Amino acid sequence: MSAIDLLMKNESMLPEVYKKMTDDELTAKISRVKKALGSDLYLPGHHYQKDDIIRFADAAGDSLKLAQLSAANKEARYVVFCGVHFMAETADILTEDHQEVILPDMRAGCSMADMADYRQTERAWEALTHQFGDTIIPITYVNSTAEIKAFVGRHGGACVTSSNARQIVTWALEQKKRILFLPDQHLGRNTAYELGIPLDEMLVWDPIAEELEESGAPEKCRVLLWKGHCSVHENFRMPHVEHLREKEPDRRILVHPECTWEVVQASDDAGSTSYIIDQIRNAPDGSRWAIGTEMNLVNRLIDTNPHLDIISLNPYMCPCLTMNRIDLPHLAWALDQVEAGKPVNTIRVPEKTASDAKKALERMLELV
Ligand code: 13P
Ligand code: SF4
């Protein structure tokens, strides 16, 4: 059943009663149910979740850590995933059959993951293998649907996260002459460039026009970039960097590699959410930072590091709207339903898709 079908069904909609409860009531409820469920419940949370949710997380992490933790946890009967849909799918694929994964709000999707659908990918593969022969290995950012991971698994490729993209792309280019990198062109371009591949050896596949975008010299091409992006990170732009460079040249600019190549090149450093957190954790007192990533995380870094001067690279930045769908009412409802033995919003990836997607995820987990 698609997410839209699910949303049309009443049981995936938040009951009114939770909308009327105060934050204090919801917080008390969540604390009580969490305690009552004990080790039957596991609650992972991505760093982009808001503060009032992440405080309940048994573990907070980036996409790699959350995938590793999901694979390691064999005990919890229920995994209530505070993140977005593709992360909950990954958890479902990596957990055991007796474990149920729940996403408190089914509307917590990811616009980047939606930029590569299965049929587009099949058509792209047909065209690209026709043009380049058997020289391509597909790689997908974990920010993709289970179907795309399954496609990659079936074709001998692997998943990557922003923490391990360099290792996996290096491995992939040892397997075949070319990679097809889905669905984030920016992470793909930034990673390949960091590995020493020049821009003129990369081409962009446009899944709507069904063609390679640049004319370039196809025979030289080593990296085929899917034309997808993160609508949050694309809001960090060159004028933001240029403004800071001019006004505050001593402020270090640290961005996520989902930002464009130009922004990453013009910044001082780039890395995954965990990398950004580590850099701030080890920053000298009084140092000045501009961070280019999702706002819930940037605000948390500002609040928890009063000895540093931290701002967002884009002063008008908003949080990721879909990450923000996970809120106190939805978490309280999801936990109530688990306690009542009637879980809602369970994520179940079909068996064949899950087993192929698992190949791509396990290849990644073995390599890092
Ligand atoms: P990481 O936490 O792996 O850096 O991912 C960032 C992101 O955009 C998740 O949606
Ligand atoms: Fe998707 Fe970007 Fe939001 Fe991450 S921050 S969930 S990649 S839209």
Distance CA 102, CA 347 (A): 6
Q: In this structure, which amino acid lies at residue 145?
A: T
Query: Of the bound ligands, which one is closest to the alpha carbon of residue 108?
Result: 2
Q: Does one domain contain both 117 and 224? A: yes
Task: Write down which residue in 230, 252, 268 finishes a domain.
Answer: 230
Task: Write down which residue in 198, 230, 262 finishes a domain.
Answer: 230
Which residues does a 6 A CB cutoff place in the pocket of ligand 1?
Answer: 47, 62-64, 110, 143, 161-163, 230, 258, 272-273
Q: Does one domain contain both 281 and 327? A: no
Q: Which of 276, 258, 254 is nearest to 266 (CA)?
A: 254
pLDDT given for residue 10 in this prediction: 59
Distance 259 CA to ligand 2 centre (A): 11
Q: Does one domain contain both 153 and 245? A: no
22 CB-contact burial (10 Å; exposed 0-12 / middle 13-18 / buried 19+)? exposed
* Domain total of the chain: 3
The low-confidence residues of the chain, meaning pLDDT below 50, are 1
Going by their DSSP bridges, the two strands 178-182 and 136-141 should be labelled as parallel
Q: Which of 257, 283, 258 is nearest to 270 (CA)?
A: 257
pLDDT given for residue 11 in this prediction: 64
Q: Edge to edge, what strands does the sheet with 288-292 contain?
A: 269-270, 252-255, 288-292, 309-312
**Is the Cβ–Cβ distance between 226 and 116 less than 8 Å?**
yes
Q: What is the CATH number of the domain that holds 161?
A: 3.40.50.10800
What residues does 212 pair with on adjacent strands? 205
Q: Does one domain contain both 123 and 219? A: yes
pLDDT given for residue 6 in this prediction: 54
Distance CA 195, CA 249 (A): 28
pLDDT given for residue 214 in this prediction: 73
Q: Does one domain contain both 158 and 66? A: no
- The whole-model pTM stands at 0.95
Q: Does one domain contain both 334 and 255? A: no
- For residue 198, the enclosing domain spans 113-230
Q: Does one domain contain both 10 and 105? A: yes
Q: Which of 361, 359, 346 is nearest to 97 (CA)?
A: 346
| Domain presence at residue 307 | yes
